[in-house]
Structure 1
Amino acid sequence: MRRIILSTESGADLPGDLAEKYGVQVVPMHIIMDGKDYKDGSLPVQDIFDYHRRTKKIPSTTSTNAHEYQEFFTTIRDEFPNCIIIHIGYTSKASSSFQNAVIAAEDFEDIFLIDALNVTGGLAAVVLYAAELLEKEPGIEPERLVEKIQAIVPKSRLAFIPGDLEFLKAGGRVSNMASLIGALLKIKPCIELKDGKLISTKKYRGKMSRATEKLFMDYLNEFNIDRQQLYFIYSIGLDERIRERMEGISKENGFQNIRWIQAGGMISTHSGAGGFGVAGLEY
């Protein structure tokens, strides 16, 4: 039986212990700061915020390029000869990374590529769904596993409130960002993934503690999320009291397993410090 290896990008913010547990291979995206190119994960996220505080500039990001994907897939094959690779990628609507993976995969056999149409915890939820399914059914045919993953992609729901709207504005990844101009300091926008695009859907006023609670309740009212697993995403600087309150509300609503995911460099560069998000899979 040929081994199936799952892979994804650093923009999934997949916790290291879970990547190790399930053998998920992660390829880094890039952060450009102070004229230098850093691989996502190679520098502390705090350095990004310190750089902004010092220079008033916001780093930029770039996708994993086709050559890097070729090296990435080759390394996996060298370590796991004759394996089948299933790559679950960062949304193609906000990055060229997935298309670069498509280009690189042309030189390989037995690589399946799935556009998760999601980022950070929403992408991680799909990857972990695949990993847990593979663990439960180690003999599953790769085509069948791919079908199941593709079926769950539209059921992964992510919503988040960025911690610093200057980062969001500079990132330019939100489709209707223009609608937020002029009110940046007065509102806290809820950003969701709609058909793979980052879109501002709701606007909350008031303190972050109130906004996060309202976001979570709106999320639960809108989506029928599987109570077996819930993912909270946070960026450095989120008030610990907010984390405690979110855990309390989630338990009150029947969630059995809660996993906190720290936003890495790629995501933090677009959302700023103190952000909060929630992700899960619909029934």
Structure 2
Amino acid sequence: MNDQRIAVLTDTGSDCPAEFAAAHDVRVVPLRINYSDGSSYESGVDITTDEVVERFEQEVPKTSLPSPERIADEFARAKADGYKAAVFVSISSGLSATCDTVRMVARTMEDFPVVVVDTLSIGVAAGLVVMEAVRQVEEGVPLSDLEQTLGMVARNTNVFFTVRDLEYLRRGGRITETIYRLGSVLNIKPVLTCDEEGHYVIAKKARGWDRALDTELKLIAAIAEKHPKVRLAVSCTSACADLYDRMESVLRERVGNAIEVVRSDISPALLVHTGPNLVGVAVQGL
């Protein structure tokens, strides 16, 4: 129960499960997806992941952050709905200017204090931080403590992901031309993560898709051993949706201290940079 009337907001760079967001009134500010013909869409609002994939043959679009006006409107809407303050959980500042823009807008809000949390991560890992923000708000953690406590949560949350096709990571500058060419010729799949500053880095390399998936699981299990309890998450694009059960089953088998395994879809804005075949996993130390 949110007796403090603190709104929880996030962006579509953070994949919080839709059912959880709806049940707890998590407000989502969408990143934008832009095409060369001038058309522009709000990620997850007026364009879906499947629609982005359908247009890949014609064009891989660009993405952009929400406008300050769009962010301010969402804060104003939360205030009008009776909330007294807000916490905004953002995609990594190392990957997007969204976090800095939210901070700028937050400083302009009158009589509506806002705490901004930089997850230093992306996708389902950032989504786990959103979910923990909701729990802390509903448990009565005061606004003044949320930035510090959720900052610690973010530092204890890790993401790993891999893709079948390296082309989209190359186009987005996420991997070098050398890694792309070697990977394509030798069937080497990089497993990516976010470093302490929230930038993409390669955690491991594996030969072949199945080995890359297993490498993700091994990395998660190794981190889980360092914590008394963990919360896990799996995120797959629709083209890889058949892997949800397999990934969750292996995680439960290998990670004995997991209290939950969350599933979440991948937003259209993230799909632009990774392509239609992606599987990600996350671990949050508790």
Q: Give the equivalent residue in structure 2 for 1:275.
A: 278
Deviations 1:149-198 (A, max 9, x none): 112111110010024311111122x3x53551322312111110002001
Which residue identity lines up with residue 176 of structure 2 in the other structure?
Answer: M
User: Which whole-Å CA distance do the structure 2 matches of 1:6 and 1:269 have between them?
Assistant: 26
Q: Give the equivalent residue in structure 2 for 1:180.
A: 179
Secondary structure class of the residue paired with 1:220: helix
Q: Give the equivalent residue in structure 2 for 1:214.
A: 215
Q: 1:22-61 residue pairs with structure 2 within 5 A?
A: 22-35=24-37, 36-41=39-44, 42-53=46-57, 55=58, 57-61=59-63
User: Which whole-Å CA distance do the structure 2 matches of 1:48 and 1:87 have between them?
Assistant: 26
Q: CA deviation at 1:239?
A: 5.8
Q: Give the equivalent residue in structure 2 for 1:16.
A: 18
Secondary structure class of the residue paired with 2:95: coil
Q: 1:112 to 1:59 in 2, by over 3 A?
A: same
Q: 1:146-165 residue pairs with structure 2 within 5 A?
A: 146-165=147-166
Q: Give the equivalent residue in structure 1 for 2:65.
A: 63
Q: CA deviation at 1:233?
A: 1.0
Which residue identity lines up with residue 38 of structure 1 in the other structure?
Answer: Y
Secondary structure class of the residue paired with 2:181: coil
Which residue identity lines up with residue 246 of structure 2 in the other structure?
Answer: R
Which residue identity lines up with residue 204 of structure 2 in the other structure?
Answer: K
Conservation of the 8 A alpha-carbon contact between 1:177 and 1:200: no
Conservation of the 8 A alpha-carbon contact between 1:239 and 1:274: no
Q: CA deviation at 1:267?
A: 0.9
Q: CA deviation at 1:88?
A: 1.1
Which residue identity lines up with residue 50 of structure 2 in the other structure?
Answer: Q
User: Which whole-Å CA distance do the structure 2 matches of 1:157 and 1:232 have between them?
Assistant: 12
User: Which whole-Å CA distance do the structure 1 matches of 2:223 and 2:145 have between them?
Assistant: 30
Secondary structure class of the residue paired with 1:231: strand
Conservation of the 8 A alpha-carbon contact between 1:192 and 1:198: yes
With structure 1 as the length reference, what TM-score do the two structures score? 0.90
Q: 1:237 to 1:199 in 2, by over 3 A?
A: same
Q: 1:180-199 residue pairs with structure 2 within 5 A?
A: 180-185=179-184, 186-194=187-195, 195-199=197-201
Q: 1:245-260 residue pairs with structure 2 within 5 A?
A: 245-253=246-254, 254=256, 255-260=258-263
Q: Give the equivalent residue in structure 1 for 2:236.
A: 234
Deviations 1:220-278 (A, max 9, x none): 124536645210011121161x3332222112122342222111101111111121111
Q: Give the equivalent residue in structure 2 for 1:118.
A: 121
Conservation of the 8 A alpha-carbon contact between 1:60 and 1:171: no
Consecutive unaligned residues of structure 1, counting only runs of 5 or more, are: none
User: Which whole-Å CA distance do the structure 1 matches of 2:90 and 2:147 have between them?
Assistant: 13
Which residue identity lines up with residue 45 of structure 1 in the other structure?
Answer: T
Consecutive unaligned residues of structure 2, counting only runs of 5 or more, are: none
Deviations 1:60-86 (A, max 9, x none): 1001121211112111111125x1111
Conservation of the 8 A alpha-carbon contact between 1:30 and 1:61: yes
Q: Give the equivalent residue in structure 2 for 1:166.
A: 167
With structure 2 as the length reference, what TM-score do the two structures score? 0.89
Q: 1:62 to 1:225 in 2, by over 3 A?
A: farther
Which residue identity lines up with residue 29 of structure 2 in the other structure?
Answer: V
Q: 1:179 to 1:192 in 2, by over 3 A?
A: farther
Q: 1:88 to 1:209 in 2, by over 3 A?
A: same
- CA root-mean-square deviation: 1.9
Q: Structure 1 stretch 220-229 or stretch 17-26: which is displaced more?
A: 220-229
1:80 equivalent in alignment to 2:89? no
User: Which whole-Å CA distance do the structure 1 matches of 2:52 and 2:228 have between them?
Assistant: 34
Q: CA deviation at 1:216?
A: 0.8
> Which among 112, 129, 132 is matched to residue 132 of structure 2?
129
Q: CA deviation at 1:133?
A: 2.3
Which residue identity lines up with residue 184 of structure 1 in the other structure?
Answer: G
Q: Structure 1 stretch 163-172 or stretch 121-130: which is displaced more?
A: 163-172
